[in-house]
Amino acid sequence: QQQVKQSPQSLIVQKGGISIINCAYENTAFDYFPWYQQFPGKGPALLIAIRPDVSEKKEGRFTISFNKSAKQFSLHIMDSQPGDSATYFCAASIGGNDMRFGAGTRLTVKP
């Protein structure tokens, strides 16, 4: 079922550093690309999302970069903080339906 490939599986970053998580998709019909953040014992929470008509979207310390021709998108977390330690999932959907998730990246930010 998985149509979205995510890397790396795990990532360790020092406080204040930049965290970068990458995703690649196959289906060119996807038109919505969100990132979700999940803490242990909780459901995923929408962090930031982008449509394919823009190449970048920034919200606070979080930025999505989107490369339509390469069918890739990435999440950048600037000035990473220990509170950012969580599992991050990229996802893609068509018109908001049948959201397909990546396998997740476990981020650890060391103080």
Partner 1 sequence: EAEVAQSPRYKITEKSQAVAFWCDPISGHATLYWYRQILGQGPELLVQFQDESVVDDSQLPKDRFSAERLKGVDSTLKIQPAELGDSAMYLCASSHQGWYGYTFGSGTRLTVV
Query: Closer CB to partner 1, residue 18 or residue 45?
Result: 45
* 3-class DSSP state of 41: coil
Closest CB to partner 1 among 77 and 88? Answer: 88
Q: Is the peptide bond before 52 cis (omega within 30 degrees of 0)?
A: no
Q: Indicate whether 62 belongs to the interface with partner 1 (CB under 8 A).
A: no
Give dist(CA 111, CA 108) in Å, integer: 10
For the CB of residue 39, give the shortest distance to partner 1 in the complex, in Å: 10
- Per CB under 8 A, 49 contacts partner 1: yes
Cβ nearer to partner 1, comparing 3 with 72: 3
Candidate residues 25, 62, 73, 89; the one interacting with partner 1 per rule CB under 8 A:
89
For residues 67 and 58, give the distance between their C-alpha atoms in angstroms, rounded to a whole number.
15
Binding site for partner 1 (CB under 8 A): 1-2, 4, 6, 32, 34, 36, 41-46, 49, 89, 91, 93, 95-104
